[in-house]
Structure 1
Amino acid sequence: MTEAKTGDVVRINYAGRLTDGTSFDTSEGRAPLEFKLGEGQVIPGLDAHVTGMAPGAKSTVTIPSDQAYGPHRADAIQTLERAKVPEGIDIKIGTQLQARTADGSLLPIRVVGLDDATVKVDANHPLAGKDLIFDVELVEIVEAA
C-alpha cells in the first residue's frame, strides 16, 4: 500500500488536545485538512507523524512543544504604555491585537494584563510551551510527489 511521503499533498482528519485533555482544535464538521508534506504548512511534529502513514490509517501522537509551537518565551511578553494603544479599542484581558514589527510585518499579540497606565501583551502563540496530542486519520493522498 502507498505511504505518504515528503512532497505529497494529503488530507487528514484530526482532533487536537492538551495533555490535560482540553480540546483545542478539530476537523470534525469541516472538510479534512489538506497540506503538502515537508513544506512547513503544519507544525513539524504533525508533518513528521503523517509521513509514512497509509490512507485509512488512524493513530494518536503526542507532539512535544519544540515540534509544535515552540517554547513559551518570556521575552515575547512586554508591557506597553497605555497611550501606545490606539484610541477606540476596547482593551481587556484576552483581547487580540496586532503590532507592527520593525520590518513592517504584523505580529498577533494578546492582552494578558492591564492597569490604568500600562497594557501587558504576549506575542507567544497560545499553544507555545505545550505538548499536544493529536488523533489523526490519513484520509487520502491527493497528489503524489
Structure 2
Amino acid sequence: MTAITQDSTVTLHFTIKMKDGSVADSTHNMGKPAKLVIGDGSLSDNFEQCLLGLSAGESKEIELAAADAFGMPNPDNIHHMDRAKFVGDADVEVGIIMAFSGPDGMEIPGIITEIAGDSVTVDFNHPLAGQDVTFAVEILSVE
C-alpha cells in the first residue's frame, strides 16, 4: 500500500464536525470525494502532518484548533456596506450568506452579521474561522 507523503495526490472523503458534534461540511453530502496534493497549500501544515503515513482504506479523526483549521477571524475582513448596494435583494437579513465579487473578479462568500439603518455589516471571514473542529477523514486512494 502506498502511504501518504509530501507531494502525494490524495483522494479522500472528509466530514468536518463542530465541538457540539454537528456536521459543518462533508464530501459525502456533495456526492464526490475531495482530491488534493499534499504540500499544495490547500490544507494547513498541521493538518497535512496528520495525514502523512495514512494509506488507502484508512480512516482517522483529527482534532484541529481554530488556528490550524480555518484560522482566526481577521477584523480586516469585516466590511460595512451601503444598503442601497443590495437593491432588489429582499433577502438582506442577518445570517444570510451572499456571494460578492472580489477585487480579482472571483466570488467570495460573505455573511451578513448586522443591519443598522442604511449600513449592512458583512463578514468575509471563513464561516468556521475561530472554531475548533474535528476532521473525520477516509482515505480512498494515494498516488
Q: Which range, TM-score by smaller chain?
A: 0.7 to 0.9
SS in 2 for 1:25: strand
Structure 2's unaligned 5+ residue stretches are: none
How does 1:128-139 map onto structure 2 within 5 Å? 128-139=129-140
Query: Could you tell me which residue of structure 2 aligns to residue 13 of structure 1?
Result: 13
The letter for the 2-side match of 1:62 is: E
Number of matched pairs: 140
> How far apart, in 2, do the equivalents of 1:77 and 1:13 lie?
32
Query: Could you tell me which residue of structure 2 aligns to residue 96 of structure 1?
Result: 98
> How far apart, in 2, do the equivalents of 1:36 and 1:115 lie?
44
SS in 2 for 1:46: helix
8 Å CA contact 2:61–2:137 kept in 1: the answer is yes
| TM-score, scaled relative to structure 2 | 0.83
| Pair 123,7 (structure 1): closer, same or farther in 2 beyond 3 Å | same
| Pair 25,112 (structure 1): closer, same or farther in 2 beyond 3 Å | same
> How far apart, in 2, do the equivalents of 1:98 and 1:77 lie?
13
Q: Deviations over 1:93-130 (max 9, x none)?
A: 214131443x6655432211113321111111100001
The letter for the 1-side match of 2:124 is: A
| Pair 99,31 (structure 1): closer, same or farther in 2 beyond 3 Å | closer
- TM-align CA RMSD: 2.1
| TM-score, scaled relative to structure 1 | 0.82
8 Å CA contact 1:12–1:32 kept in 2: the answer is yes
Structure 1's unaligned 5+ residue stretches are: none
* Amino-acid identity (%): 25
How does 1:72-83 map onto structure 2 within 5 Å? 72-83=73-84
The letter for the 2-side match of 1:78 is: H
Could you say which structure has the higher helix fraction? Answer: 2
